[in-house]
Amino acid sequence: MTTGDDLRDAQRAHWQATFQANPEMYGTEPSEPGAYAADLFGHAHVRDVLELGAGQGRDTHAFLRAGMAVTALDYSPNALADLEKEAEAAGTASLLTTLAHDVREPIPLPDASVDAVYSHMLFNMALTTLELEALSAEVHRVLRPGGLHVYTVRHTGDAHYGAGVSHGDGMFENGGFIVHFFDQALVDRLATGFTALDQAAFEEGGLPRCLWRVTLRRDEAK
């Protein structure tokens, strides 16, 4: 019998193999939300960023070039090794910390230790709603009061929603990748403890992928 953990472990191996076979599959320029976050964080005088699912680092480098210290987490050690080499070549390695990490586990950072958290489609991974709630709580924990959280997700208006193999809980598999598609109720559910600042729709890549960019601020401690 295939369990949820088996599926997610298979996804981990699939992503790692994909990164290894396609070292520049997403290009080297920052994504639209990455550029947005770098600008937002700069205006907010963010000093340190936690990036979840840094992948090949196209957005990581935007933060590093802006002088922000970045802790980059990803479950592909190969992708993180490439990211470290690129930062070394760019002269920004002193600002970068990388950690191989499974986001189903607690984030290995102290409470209230970063100014901002960023992720691009990480929340769309093969994570159950309960696991997403736990991850959102971890993001809240590591953010300083007033800290910013920017994340993007493919939503239920995307052409792949409802297509391919269903794994339940809003997850569908296409081309070997399992995506947890978000509806508005899930976005709202994960905003507990945060103030919603912005939610913008945008498109990216082939098909095209239909996404929301969500910007939250951690509520001040009471």
CATH class of domain segment(s) 4-218: alpha beta
- What does the mean pLDDT of the chain come to? 91
pLDDT above 90: percentage of residues in the chain: 83
Q: Looking at residues 73-81, what average pLDDT do you find?
A: 93
What single-letter DSSP state applies at residue 124? G
Burial classification of residue 102, based on how many CB atoms lie within 10 Å of its CB (0-12 exposed, 13-18 middle, 19 or more buried): exposed
Instruction: Indicate the pLDDT class of residue 27, thresholds 50, 70 and 90.
Output: low
Please determine, for residue 7, whether its predicted confidence score (pLDDT) is greater than 60.
no
For the entire predicted model, the pTM comes to: 0.89
Instruction: Indicate the pLDDT class of residue 1, thresholds 50, 70 and 90.
Output: very low
Q: What is the pLDDT of residue 220?
A: 87
pLDDT in tens, 123-150: 999 999 999 999 999 999 999 999 999 9
Q: What is the pLDDT of residue 11?
A: 53
Instruction: State the amino acid at position 153 in one-letter form.
Output: V
| Pairwise CA distance, residues 25 & 22, whole Å | 5
Q: What is the pLDDT of residue 13?
A: 53
Q: What is the pLDDT of residue 19?
A: 47
Q: Looking at residues 181-193, what average pLDDT do you find?
A: 98
For 124, phi and psi rounded to 5 degrees? -85, 0
Rg (CA), the chain: 16
Q: Which residue would you say has higher pLDDT here, 185 or 7?
A: 185
Instruction: State the amino acid at position 127 in one-letter form.
Output: L
